[in-house]
Amino acid sequence: MITPAYAQMMARYNAWQNQWMFQAVDALDEAAREADRGLFWGSIRGTLSHLLWADMMWMSRFDGGEAPARPLTETGKAYDWPALMRGRPTLDSRIAAWSWSVAEDAFEGDLTWYSGALGRDMSKPYAMCVAHFFNHQTHHRGQVHAALTALGVETVDTDIPFMPDEAPEWR
């Protein structure tokens, strides 16, 4: 069952993983970030750009805040590296704030939104949408993790039970 405590744990996990990953990717040169690595969004930067776009889109549905301006088809090109470095900690803080303010009963019922991908209104259980949100993050970070590993970059553990107790939403 999805609860505020689950959302809070996953918001911390999201920020913890993004912190080390963005530091590792920032240490790469631009060519390494931009090379097509066979990821769904091509490059490491393209994949992280898509993820920032998607996280912002889902958060706009959850908290009513700002949504990305570009359409889904442009998400891999939506943000350059400096914009990602600025935007990720801000968005992770927004995710954390939402997780700490969401009401227990918010996970009941449906979430309704317009899907640009499908070109129609959608309505799905709110709890399922939240589970998808966090699962989607993990999926694409896993792709970037594999690309970093292939480049010989030292990575950190990604298992939730090994998350530090004091993992902040962002440093």
**Confidence at residue 169, expressed as pLDDT on a 0 to 100 scale:** 67
Task: Name the average pLDDT for the chain.
Answer: 93
Is 34 part of a structural domain of the chain? Answer: yes
**Structural domain range at position 41:** 4-162
Is 55 part of a structural domain of the chain? Answer: yes
**Confidence at residue 142, expressed as pLDDT on a 0 to 100 scale:** 96
Is 70 part of a structural domain of the chain? Answer: yes
CATH number of the domain at 96, please. Answer: 1.20.120.450
**Confidence at residue 43, expressed as pLDDT on a 0 to 100 scale:** 95
Phi then psi for 68, rounded to 5 degrees?
A: -65, 150
Is 48 part of a structural domain of the chain? Answer: yes
Is 109 part of a structural domain of the chain? Answer: yes
- 168 Cβ neighbours under 8 A, 6+ residues apart: 12, 15
Is 100 part of a structural domain of the chain? Answer: yes
**Confidence at residue 44, expressed as pLDDT on a 0 to 100 scale:** 97
Is 169 part of a structural domain of the chain? Answer: no
* pTM of this prediction exceeds 0.75: yes
Is 167 part of a structural domain of the chain? Answer: no
d(CA 88, CA 101): 20
**Confidence at residue 167, expressed as pLDDT on a 0 to 100 scale:** 64
Query: Domain tally for the chain?
Result: 1
The stretches in the chain having pLDDT less than 70 are 167-171
What tokens appear for 166 in the block?
């004091």
If 0-12 CB within 10 Å is exposed, 13-18 middle and 19+ buried, where does residue 150 land? exposed
